[in-house]
Amino acid sequence: MDTMDNNDNIKNPLNQVNSEFNNNNNIYNGKIIDELVIVVSDELKLSQAVARKTRELGVYSEVLIYRNGLNEADTLAKINQIADELKSKNPAGIIFINELSNKTDNLLLNEISKFNKPILQIKETDEEILKDFLFNKCKLSGGWNVKTFIEKSVLDIKNKVGDKKVLCGLSGGVDSSVTAVLVNRAVGKQLSCIFVDHGLLRKYEAEQVENIFKTQFDINLIKVNAQDRFLDKLSGIRDPEKKRKIIGEEFIRVFEEEAKRIGEIDFLAQGTIYPDVIESGIDKSSVVKRHHNVGGLPEKIGFKGLIEPLKYLFKDEVIMVGRELGIPESIILRQPFPGPGLAVRVIGEVNKEKLDILRDADFIFREEIEKAGLNKELSQYFAVLTDVRSVGVRNGIRTYDYTIALRAIKTNDFMTVDWVRLPYDVLAETVYRIVNEVDHINRVVYDITPKPPATVEWE
């Protein structure tokens, strides 16, 4: 590469992308990046762990899940479906995880064997066995990694979008942020992002999102200030599910209005990730998760196609892609935050005064957790404004003020959750600051209930 090229590449990183690929766009620095193996299993967690491991070793993998114990017709249908998928995807090798303890397993193995591709039968993840299978038996080169993923995705998005327009709903969460930055890298100003400030965000959150995406990434970001609209709609509403419904519907309305202003939209970019794809349709628990998703697809926008660049990535890969794209840690390490935001953390009726009290207390708690260096160990930590007022005393005068609850939890899957034994000093400093810095709070409690029976959120 001569000096001219180098200068050009600095100005436009996409040139660099092209120059490293061969004509087929599938060889990068001499290694093939789109080699594929398929993991077939009835074990959701194990199959994902194996798929993650093969990718770590440089070979892209996908998961096909089946269930044992179906009736005969369903079993046969599932086996045919898996066979069809294997046929269309044509993997270089198949990893079959099971105990071969029943009829379905054996039928499936028989079907898979017809493909004449190397098959690895395992019951657990073992790096050496996987390496031997991938590189000796399947003779793969191992060119897949986060970097080549990004560069290939950028090319794919560019090809798909052409000179058309893309719209993306940005929440400030990891998945939508990484999606937006990736699509922006591919098509720049052809992408518009809509960020709805519904007034239920945490302290400084809207400013942070605007600052990062507008200033740092120069993304076409439309920040919609819809705080009054949401608060008007929520006025007088106490029921948690009603609140969720109102917020979900209003969110779609606001999103549609803004989308209309942009004009004709060709593509909608979404931050769907692989575990959602794998789980949907096979795992009942995903229904529980999905009911949470506020602001699902606005169907009336009338876009022509979807762009889902993270559809085949696991969560930790999304995080690695985000880091590689230069997204700051404040977004990358952001804890999950519910779509209805602080509306489900203000118990009972929501109003601006209560939200401001909660925002201040929550900010202090998060600051103290981060100061103590505990944030990376926790899955979620936040404050809740309870609907309880109680008697207290301040400067010798009787008060009758709110109780704040603090919640800090750890979990692998959010289905079962444990509360975190925070150091007393961290709790003490948090409480001291909250009662001294935030008006109208005279009592703070720490929630030490696991899930089940309690949920993470209070509403």
Q: For binding to ligand XMP (CB under 6 A), which residues are involved?
A: 244, 292-294, 336, 338-340, 344, 380, 414, 451, 455-457
Structure tokens at 35: 């080699």
Tell which residue, 200, 201, 196, 202, has the closest CA to residue 221: 196
CA distance 270 to 182: 11
Nearest to ligand XMP of 396, 453 (CB atom) = 453
Burial of 169 (0-12, 13-18, 19+ CB in 10 A): buried
Residue length of the chain: 459
Minimum gap (Å) between residue 9 Cβ and ligand XMP: 40
Nearest to ligand XMP of 248, 392 (CB atom) = 248
Minimum gap (Å) between residue 415 Cβ and ligand XMP: 8
Nearest to ligand XMP of 93, 340 (CB atom) = 340
∠341-196-228 over CA atoms, to 5°? 80
Minimum gap (Å) between residue 456 Cβ and ligand XMP: 4
Minimum gap (Å) between residue 297 Cβ and ligand XMP: 14
The single-letter code of the amino acid at 421 is: R
Structure tokens at 91: 């993997």
In DSSP terms, which residues pair with 167 in a beta bridge? 192, 268
Minimum gap (Å) between residue 34 Cβ and ligand XMP: 33
Nearest to ligand XMP of 60, 251 (CB atom) = 251
User: What are residue 274's phi and psi, to 5 degrees?
Assistant: -60, -45
Nearest to ligand XMP of 294, 357 (CB atom) = 294
Nearest to ligand XMP of 55, 244 (CB atom) = 244
Minimum gap (Å) between residue 341 Cβ and ligand XMP: 9
Minimum gap (Å) between residue 230 Cβ and ligand XMP: 14
* Sequence-distant (≥ 6) Cβ neighbours of residue 14 within 8 angstroms: 154, 158, 185, 186
The single-letter code of the amino acid at 446 is: Y
Minimum gap (Å) between residue 205 Cβ and ligand XMP: 15
The single-letter code of the amino acid at 364 is: I
Nearest to ligand XMP of 233, 244 (CB atom) = 244
**CB contact burial 12-23 (16+ within 10 A = b; e otherwise):** eebeebeeebee
Alpha carbon 249 to its chain centroid, in Å, reads 21
For residue 213, give the DSSP letter. I
For residue 21, give the DSSP letter. B
Nearest to ligand XMP of 214, 292 (CB atom) = 292
Alpha carbon 81 to its chain centroid, in Å, reads 28
Minimum gap (Å) between residue 292 Cβ and ligand XMP: 3
Nearest to ligand XMP of 12, 416 (CB atom) = 416
CA distance 450 to 402: 24
Nearest to ligand XMP of 294, 435 (CB atom) = 294
CA distance 105 to 444: 54
Minimum gap (Å) between residue 242 Cβ and ligand XMP: 12
Cα→Cα distances 98→40, 44, 216, 354, Å: 9, 11, 47, 53
User: What are residue 107's phi and psi, to 5 degrees?
Assistant: -60, -45
